[in-house]
Amino acid sequence: MNRIVWCAAAFAVAAMPAYGQDADVSKLREELRQLQQRLQALEQRLQETESRSSKAEESATRAESTATQAAQQAASRPQTENALNPGISAILNGVYSNLQRDPNTYHISGFAPTLGDVSPGRRGLSLGESELGFMANVDHMFRGNLIASISPDNSTIDIEEGYIQTIGLSNGFTIKAGRFFSSIGYQNAIHAHAWDFTDAPLVMKAFLGGQLNEDGVQFKWVAPTSLYFDVGLELGRGRAFPASDRNKNGFGSSNLFTHLGGDIGESFAWQGGLSLYATSPRDRAYTDLDSTGASVTDSFSGSSRTWALSGILKWAPEGNNTYNNFKLQGEYFRRRENGTLTYDTTAASLGTMAGGYSSRQSGWYAQGVYQFMPMWRAGYRYDTLNSGTTTLGLVDSGALTAADFPILGAYNPKRHTFMVDWSPSEFSRVRLQFARDYSRMGLADNQIFLQYIVSLGAHGAHTF
Amino acid sequence: MKFLFLVLALAAPLAAQATVNVFACEPEWAALAQELGGDKVTTVSATTARQDPHHIEARPSLIARIRNADLLVCSGSELEIGWLPLLLTQSGNDRVQPGRPGYLEASQYVVKLEIPKVIDRALGDVHPAGNPHIHLDPRNIRKVADVLSARLTEIDHANAAYYAGRTADFVKRWDAAIDRWREQAAALRGVPVVVYHKDFSYFENWAGMREAGSLEPRPGLPPTPSHLAELVDQMMRTPAKVIVYSPYNNPGAAQFLSDKTKIPSVMLPFTVGGTDRAKDLFGLFDDTIDRLLKTVK
């Protein structure tokens, strides 16, 4: 600034016409001196103003930071006893279903009905189950989690999960107790609102009766290795399919599981899992139509073992999943059941009879979901089941025929599912899904779902 | 004898790991821990500069790392809420749970900006405790250095003198660097800037820059065509001097606005590792200021 003024002054002086040189030199000198004085005065005033303004600025900054601090303190001041309320979240979802076949007659041919909620839901518009969740650290030892689902039609409240989990143990140990989604395979442990498709894979429907939550205890240990490795054991009451509540002490089901996982470079992450679920159901009943057309109740007692193998591979360029990402997921289930099948337990048709029962059944699915641009994803899933070999003592001995157990007849269900979804934020999602479902022998079922899922309140973390 | 040798060979890596395992959520905290801990710490960062710290998968590899961590250093203020709580509950490691010396939330120790008066998700991804991207104010790094040094000392008493020495050395160099940066950044004072995400606020505040807009319509939501059109109009009326974005942002939106308005755009390293020059915390600020000065000139 000063330099410019100086230069200008010098230039002005230099540019002055050079007439009457000698006589005017002293006059010029005098003028120059005056100019210099004025410049100096100006310079001083400028400096003063500058220092004043910087001081003002400084005090403004100081005031601002004091204000921010005050605001921060006010914000962090505990507000009465509510300050320690747990995190609360609510999940709302609704669906429009267009189903070619009557969902009330839905069954998976070749597989014993699971008594669970496996049908594709109601036709038309319906409110899905609303979920209410409460979660917080209890103290330095435990974390508590309660997730209740409210069914819209009969207004029953069902506890999906309600457990405590240790956070105060070391060396990689955690213990969970209460009701929780069992670590069988991969998707069973994930809440339905976080699934990539509207409904469960057929393997979960056929082998777990939908989604299996167990009342029990889970012990888990994470190994101190750089490659992720865990092993765990769940002991439960065996409250639901494939177990049956047996009214006995001890435990009714066990699930042994292990996972292995890691990264491949920056862009890929993977996880593999293996689990073995074992239980011994007693009088696990289901209804079927026998050869006379009568509705009969049959029941199974014996042992049931389910192996589940799962694999997940996720890709995101350089690990940045904001724009594009891909998730490949697959699970293979294999179940072996040995025991006794009792026909017509209520003697409603040909009379109660019992014989041996042995089955080996399996199934798998694979799905890929691609986020092709922010907010938008598309996915495809292929499901198939193998009803395998089922040996019925009553049929082998000639006492009854296979026509008396139509639902156990050999059949390999399959399903193709396509979906596209849009998530304007991480708290909301709208999904359109189309499925061609061959669960019922000889009947294809075209299913269209349009669904919204939103979450309110506490920000839940998402599992891998 | 051979067996004994084998056992020793296997045990050797374990003995070599007798350092403090630091799990940092973001690269800047890993870099700071490395500055203060030297060869007495092993640091690992859960994220890289090319990843958005809001959106990280709770990957098995991260659980495995937290499982073995002695000290966890994260920005906090809910920046990592979508993944860190899950890693913590799965880790079976009580040393790094909230409330323990091994759990350090850096943003708790600085004055936070942009504490929202209204908390509503209609406003986007709001952080009730204030803006969590605190590391781009060099004075905040200085404050966190003191806390981090104290934690290292608490966890690893035996090397207290070592940490104190390294911290004193770091602080001396850092303070000198702040003076240098302050002089350099004087030219940025009052310069209007368009940001991508509100992850640049602490730098603006330190350097006295003025935020003239953001490419995200609301924090955390990707830029939309309508918002970009509005921004173009706004920039035509009152132009900013520079558009900045981070390595994890899509440069497309910044490029679009730059093309339409002729306002230059520049990618800033955002954190350690964001550019070749941002190899450490000093490089991060050197490069950030240099890139801005070159663009604004």
**Which domain CATH number covers A344?**
2.40.160.10
- Are A110 and A37 members of one domain? no
Cα–Cα distances (Å) from A173 to A254, A273, B154, in that order, read 19, 18, 24
B60 to A143: CB separation less than 8 angstroms, yes or no: no
Specify the pLDDT at position A53.
Answer: 54
pLDDT tens, residue by residue, B196-242: 999 999 999 999 999 999 999 998 888 999 999 999 999 999 999 99
Task: Give the pLDDT band of residue A459 (cuts 50, 70, 90).
Answer: confident
pLDDT over 70 (residue B17): no
Q: Do A320 and B222 touch (CB under 8 A)?
A: no
Position A179 in a domain? yes
CA distance, residue B165 to nearest chain A CA (Å): 31
A46-98 tens-digit pLDDT: 666 555 555 555 544 444 454 555 555 444 544 566 778 899 999 999 999 99
CA–CA dist A90, A149 (Å, integer): 10
Using the structure block, give the residue that is written with the tokens 């981070």: B246
| B63 closest CA partner among B35, B39, B84 | B84
What is the residue whose two structure tokens read 């002054």?
Answer: A9
Same-domain status, A254 and A311: yes
Strands A268-279 and A253-264: antiparallel
Q: How large is the ipTM?
A: 0.88
Q: Do A463 and B86 touch (CB under 8 A)?
A: yes
Please list, in sequence order, all residues whose beta carbon lies within 8 angstroms of the beta carbon of residue A248, skipping any fewer than 6 positions away: none
Amino acid at B164: A
Burial A316-343 (b: 16+ CB within 10 A, else e): beebbbbbebbbebbbbbbbbbebbbbb
SS3 assignment, position A169: coil
Residue A71 in domain: no
Name residue A262's beta-bridge partners. A270
| pLDDT tens figures, A101-156 | 999 889 999 998 887 678 888 899 999 889 999 999 999 899 999 999 998 877 78
- Distance from the Cα of B28 to chain A's closest Cα (Å) equals 18
Same domain flag for A372 and A258: yes
Q: Do A162 and A258 share a domain, yes or no?
A: yes
Structural domains present in chain B? 16-180 (3.40.50.1980), 185-296 (3.40.50.1980)
Q: Does B211 touch chain A (CB under 8 A)?
A: no
Three-class secondary structure assignment of A109-131: CCCCCCCCCCCCCCCEEEECCEE
Q: Does B68 touch chain A (CB under 8 A)?
A: yes
CB pairs under 8 A between A and B: 140
Q: Are residues A51 and A92 in the same domain?
A: no
- What is the count of structural domains for chain A? 2
Within-domain flag for A65: no
* Cβ A236 vs Cβ A251: under 8 Å: yes
- A101 falls within a domain: yes
Residue A72: inside a domain:
no
Note the pTM of the prediction, 2 decimals.
0.85
Closest to A263 (Cβ–Cβ): which among B52, B61, B95?
A: B61
Q: Residue A424: enclosing H or E segment and its boundaries?
A: strand A414-425
User: Is residue A81 domain-resident?
Assistant: no
A227 touches chain B (CB under 8 A): yes
Residue B273 pLDDT exceeds 80: yes
Contact B164, B231 (CB under 8 A): no
Contact B229, B208 (CB under 8 A): no
Same domain? A116 vs A213: yes
Across the interface, whether the CB atoms of A226 and B65 are under 8 A apart is answered yes
pLDDT over 90 for what percent of chain A? 68
Domain identity same for A8 and A140: no
Domain extent at residue A140: 88-457
Structure tokens at B94: 């009580």
Same domain, A215 and A116: yes
Of B60, B86, B115, the CB nearest to A262: B60
Q: Are A53 and A92 in a shared domain?
A: no
Residue A64 forms part of a structural domain: no
Residue A34 shares a structural domain with residue A183: no
B45 touches chain A (CB under 8 A): no
| Rounded distance between C-alpha atoms, residue A341 and residue A284, angstroms | 9
A427 and A372 housed in the same domain: yes
In whole angstroms, what is the distance from residue A95 CA to residue A126 CA?
6
Q: Which two tokens stand for residue A163?
A: 């457990």
Both tokens of A188, joined, read 């069973």
Mean pLDDT of A371-378: 95
A82 occurs within a structural domain: no
The mean predicted confidence, pLDDT, of chain A is: 87
Give contacts of B113 with chain A, Cβ < 8 Å. 68
The residue among B90, B120, B134, B228 with the most chain A CBs within 10 A of its CB, best to mutate, is B90
Q: With an 8 Å Cβ cutoff, are A174 and B90 in contact?
A: yes
Sign of CA dihedral B276, B282, B284, B287: negative
DSSP label of A160: E
- Comparing CB atoms, the residue among A174, A314, A320 nearest residue B51 is A320
**Residue B89 touches partner A, C-beta closer than 8 Å:** yes
Residue type, B155: I
Of B59, B68, B129, the CB nearest to A263: B59
Do both A141 and A239 map to the same domain? yes
